[in-house]
Amino acid sequence: MKPLNSLLKLKLLLPLTLVLLCGPAWAADAPVLMMATTTSTDNTGLLDYLKPYFEKATGIELRWTATGTGKALAMGQNCDVDVLLVHAPPAEMKYIADGYGQNRREIMFNDFIIIGPAQDKAGIKGKSVADALATIKAKQAVFVSRGDNSGTHKKEKSLWVAAKQDQPEKESWYVQTGQGMLASINIAAEQSGYTMTDRGTYIKYAHDKGGNPPLAILVEGDDVLKNQYSVIEVSPKNCANAKADLAHKFSEWMAGAEAQKLIGDFKLMGKKLFNPNAK
Question: How many whole angstroms separate alpha carbon 78 and alpha carbon 98?
Answer: 13
Considering only 49, 55, 80, 220, the residue that binds another protein (CB under 8 A) is: 80
Contact region for another protein (CB under 8 A) — 18-26, 125-133, 168-176, 190-198?
A: 18-26
Contact region for another protein (CB under 8 A) — 108-116, 126-134, 156-164, 202-210?
A: 202-210
- Please say which residue, 112 or 202, places its beta carbon nearer to another protein: 202
Question: How many whole angstroms separate alpha carbon 260 and alpha carbon 92?
Answer: 21
20 touching another protein, by CB under 8 A: yes
- Binding residues with another protein: total (CB under 8 A): 35
Contact region for another protein (CB under 8 A) — 93-101, 116-124, 145-153, 175-183?
A: 175-183
24 touching another protein, by CB under 8 A: yes
Considering only 49, 79, 103, 248, the residue that binds another protein (CB under 8 A) is: 79
Where do contacts with another protein occur on this chain (CB under 8 A)? 8, 11-12, 14-16, 18-20, 24-26, 34, 39, 43, 48, 63-66, 77-80, 179-180, 182-183, 185-186, 204-205, 208, 239, 241
